[in-house]
Structure 1
Amino acid sequence: MTRSFSGIIPVMITPFLDTGEIDAEGLTRLVDWYIDHGVDALFAVCQSSEMQHLSLAERVQLAELTLKAVRGRVPVIASGHVSDDMEAQLEELKAIAATGMDGMVLVTNRLGLGEASWQDDLDWLLERLPEDLPLGLYECPAPFRRLLSDEELAYCAGTGRFGVLKDVSCDLPTVTRRVALTEGTPLRIVNANAAIAGAAMKAGARGFSGVFTNFHPDLYRWLMAEGEAHPELAEDLTIFLALAAQTEPMGYPKLAKLYHQRLGTFDGISSRAANFDIEERFWALVPTLEHIERGTESFRARIAAL
């Protein structure tokens, strides 16, 4: 059976230098920050990493830098295929896989774009990717969200080659159904929506991989591991996490970079995906971030006091 991936899995952001290059030192400090805050794995070269705006050489560099910074402390999974053409996607996936990733994540909206069906494209890739390479699935919202049908998910689970689905259905009944569909297989359902995070964990989802793992992954970890034993605090935390995550449309991923600049993780906040002044476009952005910072520290203190 293939390796499974579960727990708190941040979708990594990419710090850039003023020159436009990837900030290797900043990325190292970011990796340390994730691990210091209790993550179980890292998802590199994903949408939050701005993979659609990176060249293939940069995507490979990002994967290599992440693995170097992690030093085997947690598993690293990665995606990075952004092309429409299947041959080009295979080249992208093989290049990322050659870095030594623990798992390769296939983006669901990249398959079935031509004359072949979604499953035919999947089978074509499975025949050409290393059989011993654990795989995952990612319902990436860009350039469009492509959710798996129950039949497609069951097929993937039945191959025994998939260890995780980053679920972007944002729908608790769908998460619950998918947990049942994949029972007894290596495929773990990991929800990505903050509004249903706690409920999805109770329904059998094996963790969380939403964008606010870039802000307070430790709070999601506590909710997963200890929340049921402390229902009142868990309910308060669930509300805070859901409301904090509603700021995502305010210039993410640059929003997360500003947060980490304020923490001192790295200096630059430039973003190719959000290449505009987020403070000018979104009024009272910094005061909103300050509320998230204070709320985060308040819940950390409440948890520490238990």
Structure 2
Amino acid sequence: MQKKFVPVMITPYNLKAKIDFGVVENLVDFYLAAGVKGFFANCLSSEMYSINEDERLELTRHVVNYVNGRVPIVATGSFGLTIEDKAEFVKKIADTGIDSVILITGHFAHVDEPDDVLWERFHKLFSLTGNIPLGLYECPAPYKRIISPEILKRLLDTNRLNYHKDTSCNVDSVREKLAIAAGSKLEFYDAHTPNAVASLQMGAAGMSSISGNFYPEILVWLCQHANDPDRQEDVAWIQAELQRVDPLIHIAYPMSAKYFLQLRGLPVRTISRAHVLELTPEQKEVLNNIYRDFRKWCERLNIREVSTAAAAYH
């Protein structure tokens, strides 16, 4: 089975801090040229908590229409105060044409509530949303609710889940969940770049990490070669490189990604609606150095760096 890299899309803005749909298209072209096999629209990287309901739907619909069936698309849909509210938004975002509506695990129980409560609320939402394909995302906000293997098994038994984005950052947890999902239609994606090789070799469908908003070509290469016996030396080397820089690219994210994409030639402004830090001159220099490292990675691995000249002037 081919391993897939699915980027978590950032949201570009114009000078009035409105969504810049032209640059959204530039980004789609860029990702597709890098070899991605899907998109996660309207996610935390998209600043989903900082845009309103209409914008979430408009952004997702625009991505669906522009991609035009070339690869699958998923998007978050569990917004609303009550389970009934969430179910209504699930239906609305499903109507944009996405392949799966993603549910934020932290939206279904408070941090101090047990898994039985989580299960009951998931079960209620499932009953209110017909046969709409669903997925899970252990999003860090509002808090990171890691799905236990037991809850995953119960949810899989409903035959509604086809997608899971894991943020446990724990190889043993990933292994246990993959064993439970074996033979099901669930596609398991790890969000933690330092886990990439381990997860891919244990059977994950692919990766869906923020590092793909910096150097998607590298993540695509890793998905393609993690299980290639002839490339294990290179696989171990690039995994170590990615692990080294991973904490650095998280600083002031998603602003760090927007700055890095500028270095790559994309017309993405360093404008964010999320409550994020501004990049300091020192942090920009760190990202400049990582960009130079990225070009060396491409050279060693014989990866063609995506030209962004065409995307920049779409």
Q: Taking structure 2 as the reference length, what is the TM-score of the superposition? A: 0.89
| Gap regions ≥5 residues in structure 2 | 305-314
Instruction: Look up the match of 1:294.
Output: 292
Question: What amino acid is the match of 2:94?
Answer: A
Question: What amino acid is the match of 2:256?
Answer: L
Instruction: Look up the match of 1:277.
Output: 278
Q: Give me the whole-angstrom Cα distance separating, in 2, the residues matched to 1:71 and 1:215.
A: 24
Instruction: Look up the match of 1:35.
Output: 32
**Deviations 1:103-124 (CA, angstroms, capped at 9, x unpaired):** 1111111113489811111111
Instruction: Look up the match of 2:255.
Output: 254
Question: What amino acid is the match of 2:107?
Answer: R
**Residue 200 (1) aligns with residue 199 (2):** yes
Q: Give me the whole-angstrom Cα distance separating, in 2, the residues matched to 1:5 and 1:135.
A: 22
Instruction: Look up the match of 1:119.
Output: 119
SS at match of 1:153: helix
| Gap regions ≥5 residues in structure 1 | none
1:292 to 1:130, Cα distance in 2 relative to 1, 3 A: farther
Q: Give me the whole-angstrom Cα distance separating, in 2, the residues matched to 1:212 and 1:121.
A: 32
1:261 to 1:158, Cα distance in 2 relative to 1, 3 A: same
**Residue 136 (1) aligns with residue 169 (2):** no
1:174 to 1:275, Cα distance in 2 relative to 1, 3 A: closer
Shift of the alpha carbon at 1:6?
Answer: 6.4
Aligned residue pairs total 299
Question: What amino acid is the match of 1:146?
Answer: R
Shift of the alpha carbon at 1:206?
Answer: 1.6
Shift of the alpha carbon at 1:52?
Answer: 0.8
**Deviations 1:5-58 (CA, angstroms, capped at 9, x unpaired):** 962111110001111210000000001111111111100001110111110001
Q: Give me the whole-angstrom Cα distance separating, in 2, the residues matched to 1:304 and 1:263.
A: 18
Give 4+ residue runs of structure 1 displaced > 6 Å after superposition: none
Q: Give me the whole-angstrom Cα distance separating, in 2, the residues matched to 1:41 and 1:6.
A: 11
Question: What pairs with 1:202-217 in structure 2 (closer than 5 Å)?
Answer: 202-217=201-216
Question: What amino acid is the match of 1:196?
Answer: N
Higher mean displacement: 39-48 or 71-80? 71-80
Question: What amino acid is the match of 1:213?
Answer: G
Provide the aligned C-alpha RMSD in A. Answer: 2.1
**Deviations 1:276-302 (CA, angstroms, capped at 9, x unpaired):** 4222xxx51122112221221212122
Question: What pairs with 1:260-271 in structure 2 (closer than 5 Å)?
Answer: 260-271=261-272
Indicate if the aligned counterparts of 2:84 and 2:128 stay in contact, CA closer than 8 A: no
**Deviations 1:57-97 (CA, angstroms, capped at 9, x unpaired):** 01001101111221211111000433342222222222211
SS at match of 2:288: helix
Question: What pairs with 1:1-306 in structure 2 (closer than 5 Å)?
Answer: 7-113=4-110, 117-131=117-131, 133-227=132-226, 228=228, 229-279=230-280, 284-304=282-302
SS at match of 2:11: coil
